[in-house]
């Protein structure tokens, strides 16, 4: 099963992708997490990506597409995956479709987690992220057992550099301009599913499970 998570920054793509990954045994592939791991490790890719991420802009397609195609060509992705944060532009979606078509394959579901902009800023300021295992928390909505420490792997949590309110606003603008058109793109392909992302995260997950079942 090949699933794409669509939605604004902070809509809960990562939260839901992790839950899907655990329930269905599919790898969770997040381009944002891949970039953050590279930044943490000080790689050239990380240095390049950070310039764009800190400004709330998209990392150029040439860089992003290569990383994603390499990742989904790995063995653990043979039976499917959940893509979180990719594609983010129409050209990225076209590259993915072309690569899948060459393998006689296709995207099964594009799930749009719908959350209005008004709810987003509040969510981002309370978010805490684990760069080691990719887990995501929220100080109010999804707190850890020990403050600042990841429940799953024990690493220290970070506040993402791009979660400052000014940067979140820039990311929302970029989202509406460059990523939102993907909703129509996948609707035309007949694989779009919409869920209300404003309700409790377990309720959002139940809606997704009833779509995938």
Query: Which residue's CB is nearer to ligand AP5, number 104 or number 145?
Result: 145
154 three-class SS: coil
* Shortest CB 48 distance to ligand AP5, Å: 11
Active site residue 71: no
* Chain-centroid distance, C-alpha 33: 8
120 three-class SS: helix
- Nearest 5°: phi and psi at 39? -65, -45
Active site residue 88: yes
What the block records as the tokens of 118 is 């008004």
Site stretch for Mg ion (CB under 5 A), options 10-18, 96-104, 143-151, 188-196? 10-18
Interface positions, 18-57, toward ligand AP5 (CB under 6 A): 31-32, 35, 52-53, 57
In angstroms, what CA-CA distances link 55 with 167, 173, 192? 6, 12, 30
What the block records as the tokens of 165 is 């309110």
Q: Pick from 7, 12, 14, 27 the residue near Mg ion by CB under 5 A.
A: 14
| Options 2, 13, 123, 193, the catalytic residue | 13
62 three-class SS: helix
Size of the site for ligand AP5 (CB under 6 A): 35
Q: Which does 150 bind (CB under 5 to 8 A by kind): Mg ion, ligand AP5, none?
A: none
Q: Pick from 121, 141, 151, 158 the residue near ligand AP5 by CB under 6 A.
A: 141
Q: Which residues contact 25 (CB under 8 A, 6 or more apart)?
A: none
Enumerate binding residues for Mg ion (CB under 5 A): 14
Catalytic residues: 13, 88, 127, 160, 171
């Amino acid at each position: 099963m090949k699933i794409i998570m669509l939605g604004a920054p902070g809509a809960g793509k990562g939260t839901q992708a992790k839950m899907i990954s655990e329930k269905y045994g599919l790898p969770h592939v997040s381009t944002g997490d891949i970039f953050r791991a590279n930044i943490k490790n000080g790689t050239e890719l990380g240095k390049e990506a950070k310039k764009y991420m800190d400004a709330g802009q998209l990392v150029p397609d040439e860089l992003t597409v290569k990383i994603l195609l390499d990742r989904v060509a790995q063995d653990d992705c043979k039976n499917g995956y959940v893509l979180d944060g990719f594609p983010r532009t129409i050209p990225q979606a076209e590259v993915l479709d072309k690569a899948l078509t060459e393998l006689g394959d296709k995207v099964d579901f594009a799930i749009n987690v719908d959350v209005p902009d008004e709810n987003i800023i509040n969510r981002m300021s309370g978010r805490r992220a684990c760069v080691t295992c990719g887990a995501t928390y929220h100080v109010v909505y999804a707190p850890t057992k020990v403050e600042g420490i990841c429940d799953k792997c024990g690493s220290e949590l970070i506040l993402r550099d791009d979660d400052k309110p000014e940067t979140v606003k820039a990311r929302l603008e970029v989202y509406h301009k460059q990523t939102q058109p993907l909703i129509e793109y996948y609707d035309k392909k007949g694989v779009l599913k919409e869920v209300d992302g404003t309700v409790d995260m377990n309720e959002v997950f139940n809606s997704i499970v009833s779509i995938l079942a």
